[in-house]
Amino acid sequence: MGAKSYLFIILVALTVGFALIPTTQAENGIEITSMQHDNARIENSIDLEITNEADEEVSYSLLINVFSEDLQETIELESANLVFSLDPLQTYQNSFSFIIPRSGNYVFNLTLLSDGEITTSHSEYQYVFYENIDIQLDNIIQDYYLDLEGTNWRYDDENEQLELINLEDDYETGIVLGPFDTKRSESNMLEMEMDFDKTEFASFTIAYTTDFDSEQLYSTEWNVMYSLDESTADNIELGLIEEANVYIRLLATGTTADETNFWLLKNMNHRYVTTKHDLEVTIDKHYFYTAEQNPEILVDIENTGLFDQQLGNISVIVDLYSVDGYVESYSRTPNLLSGDLQILDFELAGIDSPGNYYCKTEVILVKENIYVNRFDSFISISLEDLGTFDLTFENPDSVVSIVSDYNQLNLLVESSNIDELIFSSPFEKNNLFGNYYLISITDNSGDLLISSENPGAYGSVLSAISMDQYRFSVQTMESSGETVEGIIAPSVTFVKTQTYTVNIILNNEGFYTEEYSLS
């Protein structure tokens, strides 16, 4: 029987700004000693090292697989299988070349097979690779904060760098660079190579803004993101705010400059990961319909990612609930090209009576770890929507008044302290979920008043609707009187034999079409 081979996993943190992260652990494995860089689209390589700890020669087969989590597919490699043999205690070293086609998240799967007593070792390592834009500095100069009596920033054509030299006393001078577009991308950062020398009384700062206009130069608000001091390295990385056009200001101020003081910006790179899968989804929070209308909710979906989303990639599920619980679900799987917008219309056939309902909508793109978003929306079915109301009370005498002559009302209330609210009519409280409540008002007379013993903000009424489903009123053009039976009725005096006319106005104030009889 052959001797066992003993292999070791050694994790090495790289000095180029990223780390190897194994997603699974194994007793036997491979040492990855280095990676050339973490940029996409250019030739790259990792260095592998394997040591045969057995006391005899062992043959090995190394399988390498690179999987794109964004593309959800395996990257094609020129050579994905390495076969070799090692003498006892011999170390095998090799450099594995590859090209990452796009920035994003990748998983390197390494499987090592050995003969003798056959063993298999499997390891996974996660990497993030970046797009890298080498910036031409003279192309991004937007404006200057000039020191009229001193030395200012200038571009050195010979060395292709920005420089501030020969500083004099009492100086304040700046330069504005940009814009750096971070829309439809993530993990945006600027790599800046610089050199400087300043006195302890000087201030060299880097600031940013997303709202720059040269005509409003001196009213621009800047956010300081870095201050240079003796601990500053030659190369620094600055994270950029996402979904914006970002401008950078380099500002030098001081009062006791030395003639040897300077500040040089030699190189700048913009690194980022393109957003492959992303959606912009909007759903109204509240919908109102009459009993005669067909209720629905509209889901607006825009594909803001780089990739087209084919049928099945996007899943939209709408779960409908009443105050009594789950009713039914609806689903759609739209096909959406990059940059396109669709409005999905979900008809809520499960709503068969007036009242309050709510929907929980979940939107998933490819799978939950890539994109998932959840929304809550509410539907009110009634004859009339009485509006929304802010429940903020400035003092104990403050009152929110809902103008109404309805006997029964439903209030949809969002509040984190619902129990401190006081209603002027009897009510029943139902917690729908979270801080959302349905307040059912009964025996209401006149305007409904809401108050609290303590001042403060108590949320809002998202919807107030009538629940008087069966209701009518009667009016007459003639004067009325009380009959022997105690009924108020039109009063008619018969003077002679002829036809008399009584005008009665009957108003159906309920939700439905009704038949009435008069006697």
The residue count of the chain comes to: 519
Round the average pLDDT of the chain to a whole number and report it. 86
At position 137, the amino acid (one-letter code) is L
pLDDT for 140 = 97
Q: Is the peptide bond before 88 cis (omega within 30 degrees of 0)?
A: no
Kindly indicate the confidence band of residue 181, based on its pLDDT and cuts at 50, 70 and 90.
very high
74-90 pLDDT tens trace: 998 887 888 888 888 88
pLDDT band at 172 (very low <50, low <70, confident <90, very high): very high
- 21-129 matches 279-379 in fold: yes
Give residue 277's pLDDT. Answer: 86
Architecture per CATH, domain 21-129, reads as Sandwich (2.60)
Backbone angles phi, psi at 305, to 5 degrees: -85, 175
pLDDT of residue 23: 38
Which among 178, 322, 317, 191 is positioned nearest to 265, based on CA atoms? 191
DSSP classification of residue 39: B
Domain 279-379, second-level architecture: Sandwich (2.60)
How would residue 443 be classed by pLDDT, with cut points 50, 70 and 90? confident
Q: What CATH code is assigned to 134-274?
A: 2.60.120.200
CA distance 498 to 480: 21
The Cα 203–Cα 229 span in angstroms is 8
- In whole angstroms, give the CA distance from residue 419 to residue 435: 11
Mean pLDDT across the stretch 378-403? 93
CA-CA distance, 247 to 269, in Å (whole number)? 14
| pLDDT tens per residue, range 30-79 | 777 889 999 999 999 999 888 888 888 888 888 899 999 887 889 988 87
Which of 348, 352, 356 lies closest to 329, judged by CA?
348
Gap between the Cα atoms of 384 and 141, Å rounded: 59
> Once rounded to an integer, what is the mean pLDDT over residues 249-268?
91
- Kindly list the domain boundaries of the chain, sorted by start residue: 21-129, 134-274, 279-379, 389-466, 473-508
Contacts of 233 (CB under 8 A, 6+ apart): none
How far apart are the C-alpha atoms of 465 and 355, rounded to whole Å?
8
Q: Which helix (H) or strand (E) holds 179?
A: strand 171-181
**pLDDT band for position 513 (50/70/90)?**
low
Tell me the pLDDT tens digit for each residue of 306-353.
Answer: 888 988 889 999 999 999 999 999 999 999 999 999 999 999 999 989
461: exposed, middle or buried (C-beta count within 10 Å: 0-12, 13-18, 19+)? Answer: buried
pLDDT in tens, 465-495: 998 765 655 566 666 655 555 555 666 666 7
pTM of the model: 0.65
Query: Got the DSSP string for 137-169?
Result: GGGSEEEEE--TTS---EEETTTTEEEE-S--S
CB 413 within 8 A of CB 435: no
